[in-house]
């Protein structure tokens, strides 16, 4: 059976930290779906179309990667595309606590789906979309924290 994994997130915007997790998750699976969550309760900085277009442009050449948008429960989305793995990155103890409860709830709802945690490499453990957004809001240059070719100006 094909090993299909979902890497869910807001990717608002995609950062070098996300790229590092994607690169390290890729050899573990046959297919990696980068899934952009659309939570109606959440206000995003960049529109879904933009976040999706960035991801698509970054991975056009990588056959194992697909990009999708989804709303609702991550485990339901996984079920709909037959993905048995959820990939999440862990930077800090706070990430761990947050991710632990989500993963345990997901496991209770969908016992066949495993969450796979990948620890941030030290060089990326401080990189966060939240900080990138703060830099942009305050007129700074955040280009070092996003992959090359991502134009943060055209928000
Ligand atoms: P969410 O809103 O679901 O947290 P994010 O786009 O912020 O979405 O993050 C998606 C995933 O990527 C999460 O598992 C997060 O912990 C992980 N992540 C984000 N930045 C990094 C980083 N610098 N290193 C490792 N993992 C990261």
CA dist 120 and 20 (Å) reads 8
CA dist 111 and 91 (Å) reads 25
CA dist 33 and 5 (Å) reads 6
Q: Domain spanning 4-145 has what CATH number?
A: 3.40.50.620
Please give the C-alpha separations between residue 21 and each of 17, 54, 76, 87, 120, in angstroms, as whole numbers.
Answer: 6, 17, 23, 9, 7
Closest CA to ligand 1's atom 10: 9
pTM for the model stands at: 0.96
Q: Which pair of structure tokens corresponds to residue 113? A: 């789906």
- Residues labelled catalytic: 18, 42, 91, 129
Cα 10 to ligand 1 centre (Å) = 8
Which residues of the chain are modeled with pLDDT < 70?
154-155
Question: Could you identify the residue written with the tokens 């955040």?
Answer: 142
CA dist 35 and 68 (Å) reads 5
Cα 56 to ligand 1 centre (Å) = 18
Q: For 31-69, what is each residue's pLDDT tens digit?
A: 999 999 998 888 999 999 999 999 999 999 999 999 999
Domain chopping of the chain, boundaries: 4-145
């Amino acid at each position: 059976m094909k090993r299909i994994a979902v890497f869910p997130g807001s990717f608002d915007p995609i950062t070098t930290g996300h790229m590092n997790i994607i690169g390290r998750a890729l050899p573990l699976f046959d297919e990696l779906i980068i899934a952009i969550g659309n939570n109606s309760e959440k206000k995003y900085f960049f529109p879904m179309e933009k976040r999706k277009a960035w991801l698509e442009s970054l991975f056009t050449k990588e056959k194992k990667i697909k990009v999708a948008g989804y709303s609702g429960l991550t485990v339901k989305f996984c079920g709909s595309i037959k993905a048995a793995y959820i990939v999440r990155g862990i930077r800090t103890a706070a990430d761990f606590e947050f991710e632990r409860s989500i993963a345990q709830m997901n496991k209770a709802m969908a016992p066949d789906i495993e969450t796979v945690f990948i620890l941030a490499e030290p060089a990326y453990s401080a990189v966060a979309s939240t900080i990138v957004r703060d830099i942009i809001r305050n007129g700074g240059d955040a280009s070092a924290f996003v992959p090359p070719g991502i134009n943060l100006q055209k928000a």
